[in-house]
Amino acid sequence: MNTALWIAQAFVALVVTLTGSAKLFVPREQLGRQMHWATSWPRGRIKLLGLAEVAGAVGLILPMATRIAPVLTPIAALCLLVLMLGAIGTHRRLGERFLPAVVVGALCVCIAIGRFAGFAG
């Protein structure tokens, strides 16, 4: 179970690091070519979303890896779930594909449940 959770954490962390980094470092106009919602969002909000995604990725890995406040890992998973729920709503509203956000959100639920269960057991 622990190995499966680590694989899920690594996958989600990789995905949100890549998407978050794009939001942080790619200009809004260029980002808008693939992420259509970005053209209507202020730059600051896009950067904040990117920062939240990268911070969530760090939170998925670092606390468990260092064994310093490991309870932050399932909390980070729940926070990323909230972001994914927002992504699902945004993509549905725009008529875009939202399945990737559903998959990442489902993995976040599994990570949170699995890691919280590890503290109870």
Q: What is the mean pLDDT of the chain?
A: 95
Residue 10: CB atoms within 10 Å: 13
Q: Give mean pLDDT, residues 24-31.
A: 94
Residue 38 buriedness (CB in 10 A; 0-12 / 13-18 / 19+): buried
94 pLDDT higher than 70? yes
pLDDT digits (tens, 9 = 90+) for 43-66: 999 999 999 999 999 999 999 999
Q: Is the Cα torsion angle 15, 21, 23, 28 positive or negative in sign?
A: negative
**Token pair listed for 12:** 């989600």
Tell me the C-alpha distance between 99 and 96, whole Å. Answer: 9
Measured distance between the N- and C-terminal CA atoms of the chain, rounded to whole angstroms: 13
Give domain limits for the chain.
2-120
- Supply the pTM of this predicted model: 0.94
* pLDDT at position 120: 78
pLDDT computed for residue 36 by the predictor? 86
Residue 1: burial class (beta carbons within 10 Å; 0-12, 13-18, 19+)? exposed
pLDDT at 121 > cutoff 70:
no
Q: What is the mean pLDDT of residues 27-52?
A: 93
Answer whether residue 5 shows pLDDT above 90. yes
Average pLDDT over residues 17-22: 97
- Is residue 119 very low, low, confident or very high in pLDDT (cuts 50, 70, 90)? confident
Least confident of 18-22, 29-33, 64-68: 29-33
